[in-house]
Amino acid sequence: MAAVILFGLLLASAPATPIAVQLRSASQNKTTERFASSVIKEFRSDRRFVVVAANSPAEVIVTLPNDVGYERSLDWTRISYQARIEAVGGASRDIHGSCWNWNLRVCAQQITAAAAAQR
């Protein structure tokens, strides 16, 4: 990982070579489609990753849920998910998290952080 020193502070930056990530999704409803879209957008905008096609080699494979859980609370909806992250070496793990429907980016950031750690 490349680093930058600014005014004596060490600042972390994106890895020198982006992580090739393959995203798999088979959304079954509108809420899950919005969730998957948010995750895909986050991976594409994160300099640590490069999103590759389904048939291309990847260092990390992220399988998004077919359906997310949700719980209504007044006018808001809390979204919960489980996703699977697999590394090339065969190591895999399931992660879970939650966020509000009006800020799905929080869930997306949880998944990108876990994928970066899985490398």
30 is a domain residue: yes
pTM above 0.95, yes or no: no
6 is a domain residue: no
Residue 80: which CATH number? 3.30.160.150
| Banded model confidence at residue 11, pLDDT cuts 50, 70, 90 | low
| Banded model confidence at residue 88, pLDDT cuts 50, 70, 90 | confident
pLDDT in tens, 12-44: 555 579 999 999 999 999 999 999 999 999 999
Q: HEC states along 73-111?
A: ECCEEEEEEEEEEEECCCCEEEEEEEEECCCCHHHHHHH
Question: How long, in residues, is the chain?
Answer: 119
8 is a domain residue: no
- Give the pLDDT of residue 55: 87
43 is a domain residue: yes
Structural domain that includes position 63:
13-118
Domains in the chain, number: 1
